[in-house]
Amino acid sequence: MKEFIIKNGKKLRCGYTTGTCATAAAVAAARMIFSGEIVNKVYVQLPNENKVLIEIIDPTFDCQGVSCCVKKDSGDDPDVTDGILIFAKIKLDETGKISIDGGEGVGRVTQKGLDCPVGSAAINSVPRKMIIDNLRQVCREYKYDGGISVIISAPDGKEVAKKTFNPHLGIKGGISIIGTTGIVEPMSEKALVESLKVEMRVIKEKGYNELLAFPGNYAQSFIDKSLGIRGENSLKFSNYLGEVLDYAIELNFNEILIVGHIGKMVKVAGGMMNTHSNNGDFRMEILSCYAALYGVGKEVIKEILSCITTEQVVEILIRENIENKVLSKIRERAEFYINKRVDNKLKIKLIIYSNNFGILD
């Protein structure tokens, strides 16, 4: 596995998903029940067939089976589940199958559109397969062909889940056991985009064909205070407008209302569908270009280019009495690039706002 990745010039340590932790705990418990010996470390095979060595804590025999625990290590990723304890308790049965369920602190699915059926424990398909595949390998080693019952739990999961998207997604009572690779890459864009796709599937499964999309907390606050239209079909897309538009087509949404601050929408007006500052920042250049188009002189252009925020630029545009023309052009170009991205397959509505001046027409 990759122990480190380089992100923005920094060396960052990778960690393990909740799925890998649950698998390791289950494998350790199985080895203990077959060998009768305490297990302190186990190898786990990841979906890509690489193996990782995981430390086990609190290995316990009792009359109901064997329990083992793994402390989740998210590496340098700012994951709220970092440090949480994930337990696996197993017992043998005569079913000939490996069954997996969630115990304390593992959420239950109450909405369609997720990776797990409604009513089941929020243990996604890849972690389930990891647990089963690794346990089957242990069974082969010990020539066991009976059944195994596995209960995955996380005693602090109910409290930790309040800091995740789970309550919004209809996962009640705890965290999810997730992971597609078994490894947590710090600040993984792929993971963020996948979480957006999950949210969109849930919204679609609730019967919505229209989506209210906005970049972040500031836009959410504006919507709540000024528009009052935020509901179950709302999606906070961070910087990933392009990916959200692509997936909206795939899910057959009919309409998207995008609400964004002028600072974000200027970037979209320049064709940027991922608005993170690492991908570029030409806001002042675009605004000064259109200001020049509508008649301001060199000194005003210099003033705009020296601005730190787009709020400052809006004030200059108002002072120069060209705000309507420039902002109309920004809207026109933003809508052009959005419609180009969706190939005019979705109805797009766009609201651009300023913190100081409200909706910008």
Burial 320-350 (b: 16+ CB within 10 A, else e): bebbeebbebbbebbbebbeebbeeebebeb
- pTM for the predicted model, two decimal places: 0.76
Q: How many CB atoms lie within 10 A of CB 267?
A: 26
Q: Among candidates 244, 242, 248, 249, which has minimal Cα distance to 272? A: 242
Q: How many CB atoms lie within 10 A of CB 145?
A: 8
Domains delineated in the chain: 4-184 (3.30.2110.10), 189-359 (no CATH)
- pLDDT of 335 over the 70 cut: yes
Encode pLDDT of 148-178 as tens digits.
999 999 999 999 999 988 888 889 999 999 9
Beta-bridge mates of residue 223: none
Highest mean pLDDT among 31-45, 156-170, 277-291: 31-45
The whole-angstrom separation of Cα 101 and Cα 94 is 17
Encode pLDDT of 41-89 as tens digits.
999 999 988 999 999 999 999 888 999 999 999 888 878 999 999 999 9
